[in-house]
Structure 1
Amino acid sequence: MVWIKACLNGGQTRAEHPAVPVTPDEVAAAAAASVGAGAVAVHLHQRDAAGRQSLRAVDVGAVVAAVRRACPGLPVGVTTGLWISAGDVGRRLAEVTRWADLPVGERPDFASVNVGEPGFADLVAALRAAGIGVEPGVWSIADALALALALAGAGAGPWVRVLVEVPDGPVGTATADADAILARLDDLAVPGPRLLHGDGARCWPLVAHAGRLGLATRIGLEDVLVGPDGEPVADNADLVRRAVTVWGAARRPV
């Protein structure tokens, strides 16, 4: 069975695809449709009233609550991307620390934290203090080593999932790059289930590779705006349905 997370919006705008959900109600509707298509969790980028990505607790709480109303019991994850605070590590940490004050129903189940961004360890500690799980984002072999070293630090591990993200580089090397990172994580005995995904042109090859390896993956308008053959797609749910098919077709018999 495929374990697939729908990544609903990211930093995309409706100019890039008309189905990108922005408001809490739109994100909730997209989450419900994606679950109907086969997703078992969602990842979202919370927005403020102007549609900009935000780290403010009020914006996080509003969209998480909306998704929970539409999809009771669905695991909900959010971003902590440093770009949202314009690279200000201290401001990001202060904003995320305030998530601990959110009512339980408005608090995300987990948050992604890119290992290569400054302030990783402190941010992990703040999320744990708020009762929020952590998905470290590993983009390179160097990130894999940094994550292994973080396990010795206060507040690090265990991880909800380790996100092996392979966004950059030629399409032809995507699977080899992914395999190198996965092998390094295993060599370093980094614990936690792996989730493999790419971005843009690398997205669909890595959905298929996740299927071959039997790993979790993700899909959505954050990562790609077209289907596996470059065809137009209607929305997040359409992408999820196609990803379930691609993952299943690639799965090796056990």
Structure 2
Amino acid sequence: MIKACLNGSRTPGDHPALPVTPLELAEAARETREAGADAVHMHPRDAAGRESLSAVHVGAAVRAVRQACPGLPVGVSTGLWISGWDPGARREAVRGWAALPPEDRPDFASVNLSEQGFSGVWQDLRRLGVGVEAGVWSVDDADALAATGLECLRVLVEIIGGPADTSVSRAHAVLGRLDRLGVPGPRLLHGEGAPAWILVDEAGQSGLATRIGLEDVLHGPVGEPVGGNADLVRLARARLVVGG
């Protein structure tokens, strides 16, 4: 499985093809699906281009992607920074998704275990029928996930920045801890920044799902420029095929 991460917290100045509006996200999703993506992850924006958890903005982005890509699984972020680091405001925004028709709600949402109030928003998502991807960035996050006893759609082992040459060992430290603790759920391995392409390769060699997109990296495996998310997915798919 390859999930395309379309935009993240980046701004349009970071890459000319960064999708922001619902229509741009829908077009990027369509292109990445054609390039081989099995699902998409996005950060919906408000009219000013700021990340938003509001039902109005989440619903508009999900609706546009579903219309362009029927049947493609669609996910969003619940990153605490989007609500100004206010756990209460985050829960209020996510609970507001109940006003959306089910087809305008995302299939899944990521919840970072390192963030305050993660268990509350996790329960809110479950009540809404939205699957939870557990964002595990460290061994401590793996411990926190195991302690909850909560089950998730997918465990995201996310190596965020740091030296590229230690990314594989850091990833396996987290994966090993999850296994030793008996945490259920399929794993998806990816990196942001320097580790991104190294961990795409590692995921392929380990038989794990992965993700790629402009949220994680702005260039190809050897630093070459890319036209956008679809190019990144094509490059990742080719590497996984060769590696497999």
The TM-score by the shorter chain falls in which range?
A: over 0.9
Q: Paired residue for 2:171, among 152, 155, 178?
A: 178
Whether the aligned pair in 2 keeps the contact of 1:78 and 1:110 (CA below 8 Å) is yes
Which residues of structure 2 form unaligned runs of 5+? none
Residue 12 (structure 1) shift = 1.1
Residue 104 (structure 1) shift = 1.2
Would you say how many aligned residue pairs link Structure 1 and Structure 2?
244
DSSP 3-state at the match of 2:18: coil
The farther-off stretch of 97-106 and 197-206 is 97-106
Residue 13 (structure 1) shift = 1.5
Mapped partners of 1:100, 1:216: distance in 2: 30
Question: What is aligned with 1:206?
Answer: 199
Mapped partners of 1:215, 1:176: distance in 2: 16
Question: What is aligned with 1:164?
Answer: 157
Q: Determine whether 1:124 maps to 2:119.
A: no
DSSP 3-state at the match of 1:15: helix
Letter in 2 for 1:212: Q
Q: TM-score, normalised by structure 1?
A: 0.95
DSSP 3-state at the match of 1:49: coil
Mapped partners of 2:193, 2:170: distance in 1: 15
Mapped partners of 1:148, 1:52: distance in 2: 33
Letter in 1 for 2:45: R
DSSP 3-state at the match of 2:194: helix
DSSP 3-state at the match of 2:188: strand
Whether the aligned pair in 2 keeps the contact of 1:139 and 1:166 (CA below 8 Å) is yes
Q: Paired residue for 2:29, among 24, 28, 31?
A: 31
Mapped partners of 1:8, 1:98: distance in 2: 24
The alignment yields a C-alpha RMSD, in angstroms, of 0.7
Mapped partners of 1:59, 1:200: distance in 2: 27
Q: Paired residue for 1:187, among 180, 191, 194?
A: 180
Letter in 1 for 2:236: A
Mapped partners of 1:130, 1:105: distance in 2: 12
DSSP 3-state at the match of 1:42: strand
DSSP 3-state at the match of 1:201: coil
Question: What is aligned with 1:103?
Answer: 101
Whether the aligned pair in 1 keeps the contact of 2:161 and 2:194 (CA below 8 Å) is no
Whether the aligned pair in 2 keeps the contact of 1:166 and 1:199 (CA below 8 Å) is yes
Residue 168 (structure 1) shift = 2.9
Q: Determine whether 1:80 maps to 2:78.
A: yes
String of CA shifts for 1:68-113, please: whole Å, max 9, x gaps: 0000011000000000111111001110111122101110000000
DSSP 3-state at the match of 1:162: strand
Identity within the alignment, %: 61
Question: What is aligned with 2:215?
Answer: 222
Mapped partners of 1:188, 1:95: distance in 2: 32
String of CA shifts for 1:192-230, please: whole Å, max 9, x gaps: 000000011110000000000010000000000000000
Whether the aligned pair in 2 keeps the contact of 1:100 and 1:131 (CA below 8 Å) is no
Question: What is aligned with 1:42?
Answer: 40
- Show structure 1 runs of 4+ deviating over 3 A: none
Question: What is aligned with 1:249?
Answer: 242
DSSP 3-state at the match of 2:146: helix
Whether the aligned pair in 2 keeps the contact of 1:43 and 1:79 (CA below 8 Å) is yes
Question: What is aligned with 2:145?
Answer: 147
Q: TM-score, normalised by structure 2?
A: 0.99
Question: What is aligned with 2:89?
Answer: 91
